[in-house]
Structure 1
């Protein structure tokens, strides 16, 4: 599988960093092909959700976001020091929080997480671009 890294950014684990990272991703995708640009809104939303969860539930001082282009998808990955819980669905439609993973599940063609060495967690998703068809 060919994998083209588009960029990575490490930011403080602070809610104020979510907006600049969304802008960074939008700018990164703006110069790509039309089939990549058309998924920018979904990509920005999914990065925002995964980054917000990493900031809210992680325990480390920083979070790293990386983006790569696959033959037919955009791969987004957010890595941080894991908190006390792993990603899981909240089954309460009236809950104030817990909508991030259902959004990820609805918009991504695939998503998941990996527990890495030194207590780090990486949450990833892929958004189909229509390339390679």
Structure 2
């Protein structure tokens, strides 16, 4: 059964984020700014409909989707690309697969106790973050 992701989550740590952004070919100026940020996540989870708002002092990003349904994701605020995205539950993990210019792109969210985890592999670069409710 899927876990309840509802809540406001504050980032407590991030690892290897700059290498991850470099693998996405994000320009150096945006990479430097992004690595200084500690964005919060505000998640509304109602059945198969999930809204993930990533909030920072630099830029906000909203992802509004239905689990299991492919949609076109506009990443212009991240790396100026569009991709076809499908997000599905794999056990108690929410797994995102993004198909586009960059192979192997996506992320996984899961909850462990009172922490929300995020892992994002791109090619051989892995980034991870922890968020506290």
Higher relative helix content: 1
For normalisation by structure 2, the TM-score amounts to 0.28
More strand by share: 2
